[in-house]
Amino acid sequence: MDKPPIIHIAAVSIPAFSHQASLLEFSKRLLHLHPHFHVTCIFPTVGSPPDATISTLHSLPPSLHVTFLPPIPKHHLPQHSPPAVQIQLAVSLSVPSLRNALETLRSTSSSSSPIVAVIADPFANEALEIAKELDLLSFVYFPPSAMTLALFLNLPRLDREISCEYRDLKEPIHIIPGESSMVTINGPDLPEHLQDRSSLSYDLLLQRCKRFDLADGFLVNTFFEMEEAAITALQRQRFSLFPIGPIAQSGSETGSGSGPGSGSGCVEWLEIQPPRSVLYVSFGSGGTLSEEQVNELALGLELSGQKFLWVVRAPSNESANAAYLSNEKQSNNNNNNNDIDSDNFKDSMQFLPSGFLERIRSKRQGMIVSSWAPQARILSHNSTGGFLTHCGWNSSLESIVCGVPMIAWPLFAEQRMNAVLLTEGLKVGLRPKAEGINGVVRKEEIARVVRDLMEDGEEEGNGIRRRIEELREGAGCAMREGGSSTKALSQVVERIENFGS
């Protein structure tokens, strides 16, 4: 049988590691299932590319290539604006070089297999306009949930119908009118970009949402069995939606997972812990807590009496996403020695409560890792019984794929919406209650929630474990041959093949 002709597509992301990692994982799955495809990923950059992204390039299949656009100097961006604004402005400043890259890939004179389609991150959807100019098929690859996509697609209508700030609304928001099966969202739980309608963040996002009409379809990192209500509601709105997830790293990933400071010691530590006994605590690649909250979290974990593995990042009193655009080495944060007994390590952890490291060591209760750890390996480990997470969608999916129940601690972006979906919609996690103007979660509340999740005798925790195990099985079924997500991806492939023929 003759081999099918090579089909070449371009995939455009943004200068943020979590989005780039998700797009690369999607591209690898596409090539695994449909090896006659070739993918060129195009990444705008701010300064130099993230070290974590560079480390992933060593394990890419030969038919997947990455092109970095000329970097946008940081001083060309407003220095005191939120990361979401800086990212979107950086993408906009990269449009001329993006157009040149796509024109080159489209040209038959420069490529034996010119691109026929473009897949764009929602925050890089200027690529949709360029695709139309070049007569290319175009899709949006949407890394977050279908519920978040529903909000984005309906934001222009909400903007017209609601006059006040969303956070001031007395009643919960029905993102799609008449869809009572969808989880409702209170105004303060909408993404941070929507909390001030006079801000540049809001205006940029609204303009991007209006540009979605140019897309030929939406590839969403979710699966039907998890978000049936949102997916069905969007399809009733006549959006061309393809749930192709969960796209998530597996516990066998390598990349940065070896060498000094790689966090490999924490996997060895897990090996000697009882099954499902350890709470994994991490706030993603960019999340930070205030110094007060770091102290309360440390004392709450200790007070819970439960074993924990905590990926600690230095506190920031300025922003919950202070590390999001930083280019620190994900696997080697100035401190190559994560030995809790090391004087160097203790010196780097001076912001933790006095005596905390010594107490958890003497009680053999926990392990502290600086800045980075092999998350997928940890979540898939038999000793891991819970995940205190910032509710980034990549992390949430990794937890679901591994069947690990969650404590939802959202920080920024759409993470509050994810927390609502996880705790109120899917009921696979608990959410601690904050207090005071600064929204600090106190140690007693932390200890209570940790015990409720981790202890076998707690009815609430048992129900959560049962439901996330069902969701884990659903995720596996969706990604198998003949599963809902595999079929959805095949439908996308068929559309691209027909367009290119």
Catalytic residues: 19, 121
What does the alpha-carbon distance between residue 324 and residue 398 come to, in Å, rounded to a whole number? Answer: 19
- For 250, phi then psi, to 5°, come to -100, 170
What does the alpha-carbon distance between residue 182 and residue 174 come to, in Å, rounded to a whole number? Answer: 8
Long-range contacts of 434-443 (CB under 8 A, 24+ apart): 438/290, 438/292, 440/290, 440/292, 440/293, 440/296, 441/293, 441/296, 441/297, 441/300, 441/409, 442/296, 442/300, 443/296, 443/297, 443/299, 443/300, 443/303
Which residues have CB under 8 Å from 295's CB, separation 6+? 351, 352, 353
Cα separations (Å) of 414 from 44, 48, 146, 188, 393? 22, 26, 12, 11, 9
Query: For 47, left (φ over 0), alpha (ψ -120 to 50), or beta?
Result: left
DSSP 8-class letter at 93: H
Examine residue 144 and say whether the peptide bond preceding it is cis (omega within 30 degrees of 0). Answer: no
What does the alpha-carbon distance between residue 56 and residue 113 come to, in Å, rounded to a whole number? Answer: 25
Using an 8 Å Cβ cutoff, are 500 and 116 in contact? yes
Using an 8 Å Cβ cutoff, are 5 and 498 in contact? no
